[in-house]
Structure 1
């Protein structure tokens, strides 16, 4: 899933703000550094999700039979292959 840069920044701000509100959490760095690290972590997760999505789609497209996206068969195969990739990566 592609998320715009602005939305990713907003999400990172939300994460940093939520962490700041937890009494048991003490920042060892300034809030901006925490926000930047949260943004990096989110970007890495989204990049992994994109790779998993592409791998699942590639497996479907490599089937001998042509399977149209949006059909029930395609959805079932996509979920299966997506979950297989997630397990393979240990996520």
Structure 2
């Protein structure tokens, strides 16, 4: 896939401009996006303008985590991240 072979260089250029919270999960069994702990650390470090970066593997899931048996747990984690970000923003504004 062309997009998966060039995204690394595009990301390095764009990452410093991302200024919103980032929540990334890659299924540990995902065969489309190959990643390791070092790549997750590099990903998080590149997001220098993001107030919060939460990047990790999601156990027992492949690509499109929502459609795996653990999809509900994944979605709950996404909601928790969003609620945490909203609460943090409200706290900072008062």
Which category describes the TM-score, using the shorter chain as reference length? 0.3 to 0.5
After TM superposition, the score normalised by the length of structure 2 is 0.34
Structure with more helix by fraction: 1
Structure with more strand by fraction: 2
Greater gyration radius: 1
After TM superposition, the score normalised by the length of structure 1 is 0.35
